[in-house]
Amino acid sequence: MSDITSICGQVQGLTPKLLQRAQIDRMVGAPKAEDAFRVLGELQYADYLDQQTEITDFDSIITQGLFETKQLLISGVNEHPVALFLTLPFDVNNLKQALKQKLVEENSDLKVGESFSKLGQLSAAEVKKIVFDNVQAGNISAVILNAVREVIANFNKEESVRDIEFALDRAMFAALEEELSTQSYPDYFLPSYLELWADSVQVRNLARSVLVIKEPLPEKAFVPVSSITVEMAGKAESLADLKRVLERTPFNVVIGSLDDNSSATVQLLALEHALDKKHDEFLHNAALGSLDSPAILLDYFNKRLQNARILKLVMYGKLNGVEVDKIYKLIETV
């Protein structure tokens, strides 16, 4: 098992450079987009700014900062299982996109757009080989690879596209659980975080099915590791049922976000925002006071992702003349 004390110390030294509220206010209130752009130099993007940098480069600069952060963390953890927690969600999302292109859009080749993330371990070429060429490529779990092949073999376009999401989510959590089971890992954090994460995904899927699609969540949508089982939630089909399920989970505090008089879409968005907040608080609290917990790395990377989303929203808003109060409302959704 890898010792992560050194990289945890390095990350704690970088934390003061995270985006602060005062910097957000300066960017939003800046008279010109160019003035807002200069704030990036105060953060961890100064090395990317020079006389040739254009204001329209902000998106690629912020994305590059995330990529280099991921590289720093991965190089520092070596064989520690937290590496898979940092990268696998992005690989799985890229594989989902590729499967939808192949099976739903019936593309013959992978189209790499802005939504393709470079924060995973698999390159676009490797994702293409796995999905379009049916060839094993890159460092990918056999559980994930088998799930991709089963989706391709059994996909029925007449049925829900959600089957792709369900299958890859189940495989992702199974792969992470398998990774932890093969490690001599005494820390309590990653197993508890994995369960909370799986519960969060389960609640999102359940809420979308009950509130928007208006039907119970199918059994194939229940992910391993989650404490929310088919027996517990498989028959839920109303807002009242959903609230009863939530009362028995670590997310009972988010019930207050569900306004009975709101539309299903508003209810779902409010619930997802509350779930994100619960997730962020869990990581932040787990990292507090620790010197070598993987929570430090996951919390820092999570905050860098949030910073990137906020910075991009602000810059898009300033470049397009969006009013100050509307930019703040957009930021509140992050």
Q: How confident is the model at residue 185 (pLDDT cuts 50, 70, 90)?
A: low
Quote the pLDDT of residue 1.
43
Query: Cα angle vertex 275, ends 72, 263, to 5°?
Result: 135
Q: Which residues fall within 8 angstroms of residue 210, CB to CB, at 6 or more apart?
A: 216, 217, 236, 237, 238, 239, 241, 242
- What integer pLDDT is reported at residue 108 of this predicted model? 86
Looking at 182, 215, 232, the residue that finishes a domain is 182
Instruction: Give the pLDDT confidence score for residue 285 in this predicted structure.
Output: 95
The single residue listed with the structure tokens 């005494």 is: 186
Residue 2 has what pLDDT? 55
Q: Are residues 139 and 87 in the same domain?
A: yes
Q: How many domains does the chain have?
A: 3
CB-based contact 212:268 (threshold 8 Å): yes
- Asked if residue 286 belongs to a domain, the reply is yes
Are residues 46 and 119 both part of a single domain? no
Cα gap 308→315, rounded to integer Å: 11
Assess if residue 61 is contained within a domain. yes
Q: Are residues 31 and 64 in the same domain?
A: yes
Domain contains 299: no
First and final CA of the chain: distance in angstroms? 35
Give a yes or no: residue 297 inside a domain. no
Local confidence band at 278 (pLDDT 50, 70, 90 cut-offs): very high
Q: Which of 133, 156, 182 is where one domain is finished?
A: 182
The residue segments making up the domain with residue 100 are 82-182
Residue 86 has pLDDT above 90, yes or no: yes
Any domain includes 173: yes
Q: Is residue 67 part of a domain?
A: yes
The CATH code of the domain that includes 60 is 1.10.132.50
Query: Do 76 and 137 belong together in one domain?
Result: no
Q: In degrees to the nearest 10, what's the CA dihedral of 182, 185, 191, 194?
A: -70
Task: Note the pLDDT tens digit of each residue in 35-54.
Answer: 999 888 888 787 777 767 78
Shared-domain flag, residues 75 and 116: no
Q: What is the DSSP letter of 304?
A: H
Average pLDDT, the chain: 90
- What number is the average pLDDT over the span 228-242? 92
Residue 184, pLDDT score: 67
Residue 144 pLDDT: 95
3-class SS at 38? helix
Would you list the DSSP string of 251-292? TGGGGGG--TTS-HHHHHHHHHHHHHHHHHHHHHHHHTT-SS
Q: Is 333 part of a structural domain of the chain?
A: yes
